[in-house]
Structure 1
Amino acid sequence: MKPLFLLVLPLLAGLAVAATPRAARADVACTGPAGGHLGAAPACDRLAALLAGRGVSVTLELTRDEPQLLAGRLVWQAGGQRRAGPVVEVTARDRPLTAAAGDRLVRGLLAVSDLP
């Protein structure tokens, strides 16, 4: 039989995450071409993880999702105006892109976008 604290620990961890104030969480939305090679999930999940705790609302717009090309930009609100960062591309010449391309895209987007 497991000690009681091992049974209660996951419950307490879940409550701690649920109790995080909304302003401290990143609000990430993702859009992109339907039926693309990777889909938006790898990049969207990575963006949400990297922005956690910043309290910023961002949309990741994938503009291209092909076997050897993933491209997109970030869109956010700042100073009462809609802002859009530049389009960043991740490419591969000799093989189809893997889910790691989503991470590379997000890191590139964060490097060139002036998020609040």
Structure 2
Amino acid sequence: MKASQATKTGPHGRVAGLLEELGETLGLIIESARRGEDLHIFQYKASARDILVGLDRELNFELAGDLSQTLRVMYNEAAKRIQLDGMEAYVERIESAREMILEIEKAWTEIVSFN
């Protein structure tokens, strides 16, 4: 489900769309890093940061306090891994952030299918 489709399905759908978009964007960062395309990396990192901000805005601490707090910690960790530059194992850090997001997306998709 793309973010444009997700908007029609309420908050759960928006989150599902944002998670999918983030996973795709992280994949683009990895591909660009392997090709040495610094400008693309910069652009995709900015997009990933914006998506993470959007995901954070969707957190509902009143409805899902502990879960929301856990997701906030995971989103912050993903942001840290994405933003670090110039260090060894950059691609591996992005891949680990992507795997973390894909696990969240998988669980979220299951939640959305029950609504």
Both proteins in one fold, TM over 0.5: no
Structure possessing the higher relative contact order (Cα contacts under 8 Å, 6 or more residues apart): 2
TM-score by length of structure 1 reads: 0.28
Bigger CA radius of gyration: 1
Structure number with higher strand proportion: 1
Structure number with higher helix proportion: 2
